Amino acid sequence: MERNLPPIDSEIRAFADFLMSGGVADLNAPMVERRARAKALRQNWSRTIPAIHSQTEDVFSGCRFRIYRPNDSLELPAIVFLHGGGWCMLDIDIYEPIIKRLALTSGAAVLAIDYPLAPEAPFPTAIETCTAFVRQVRAASASFGIRSDSLVLVGDSAGANLAVAVALVLRDRQEDIINALGLVYGAYDLANETKSCELYGNGDLPLTIESMRGSRKNYVHNPIQLSGSLASPLGADLRGLPPSFLLVASHDPLFDENIAMAGRLGSAGCEVLMKIYPGAVHGFLEAESIVGSKLARRALEDLGEFVSHHTASR
């Protein structure tokens, strides 16, 4: 499989080297220290952060969240954004360049939440908080200055896992409040490891098999729950989920399960669009702000276009 792929994009390679230079992948360090290193690494680098019309901050159920608005309209479509980081790390400060670019490319207000992190808040705490937050965004749409009929849920990596889990909970409770799902190099099968894990998770790139195993252990404390439909949505009944865009990196340990997820969604009768970005690695959207990656910028524009298409009034 690897021989038939183009090499890693040069700008993406520089981005990967940047991430691996920070010592964040030291799995023996305390989680608090790993989180601090991840933040300090970005703060010590000259990141390009787009200017945006406005941003405000508030608290929901003890969790900080921000609303990013691309213009002054009080009837914007909306995105609820769930960040990645293995359910254990990262926050909306680190994701600000991605979130702002997404607001600009989609024309939507982006509401991004710092959901509770594991291991302090294990499965299914983050799912419950994110589900409640999505409900609140819809219920309080007028006060947020957004349209109640135009809400897309977007997440990357662990955030994509949470996004699908939230969509499943809402579907099962017959709450038709999400127009679409934007799923970026997601983790969809916590119970199994694939060939792409072996190919790309051996330590040459930022996401490794060891770090994924550690993240799963921190997030799901009971191993029996790893194969459940909310922890591993690849095995869930996916019928009735909204239209989904799967943004897939070619050189990603999670590549195989992303391809499988697209197939499962299609087999379930869901509208699904998948795009593979040759030469990209897991987490590559961040490369736009760090190294000016043209590939990452194009992917963010594609995601924005998908959101824009699916936020017309029903």
pLDDT tens for each residue of 31-75: 999 999 999 998 878 899 999 999 999 999 999 999 999 999 999
pLDDT at 234: 98
Give the per-residue pLDDT at 23: 57
At 27 the pLDDT is 82
3-class state of residue 278 by DSSP: strand
Whether 57 is covered by a domain: the verdict is yes
Is residue 180 domain-resident? yes
Residue numbers of the domain that contains 126? 2-309
Residue 50 lies inside a defined structural domain of this protein: yes
If you average pLDDT over residues 287-298, what whole number do you get? Answer: 97
Q: Does 43 map to a domain?
A: yes
Q: Quote the mean pLDDT of the chain.
A: 95
Task: Report the domain count for the chain.
Answer: 1
**Strand residue runs (E) in 3-119:** 54-60, 63-69, 76-82, 109-113
* pLDDT (0 to 100) of residue 44: 79
Whether 125 is in a domain gets the answer yes
* Tokens 């690695």, located at residue: 281
| Amino acid (1-letter code) at residue 217 | K
Examine the pLDDT at 2 and tell me if it is beyond 50. Answer: no
- pLDDT tens digits, 198-230: 999 999 999 999 999 999 999 999 999 999 999
pLDDT tens-digit readout, 88-145: 999 999 999 999 999 999 999 999 999 999 999 999 999 999 999 999 999 999 999 9
CATH at 284: 3.40.50.1820
Is residue 34 a part of any domain in this protein?
yes
**Percent of the chain surpassing pLDDT 70:** 97
Q: Measured in Å, how far apart are the chain's first and last C-alpha atoms?
A: 42
pLDDT beyond 70 at 25: no
- Return the pLDDT at 227: 97
Angle subtended at Cα 130 by Cα 182 and Cα 48, rounded to the nearest 5 degrees: 55
Residue 314 lies in a domain: no
Residue 251 forms beta bridges with which residues?
281
pLDDT exceeds cutoff 90 at 157: yes
Q: What is the pLDDT of residue 99?
A: 98
Task: Let me know if residue 288 belongs to a domain.
Answer: yes
Q: How many CB atoms lie within 10 A of CB 149?
A: 14
183-196 pLDDT, tens digit each: 999 999 999 999 99
pTM, entire model: 0.97
- pLDDT score of 1: 41
Give the residues across from 249 on adjacent strands. Answer: 277
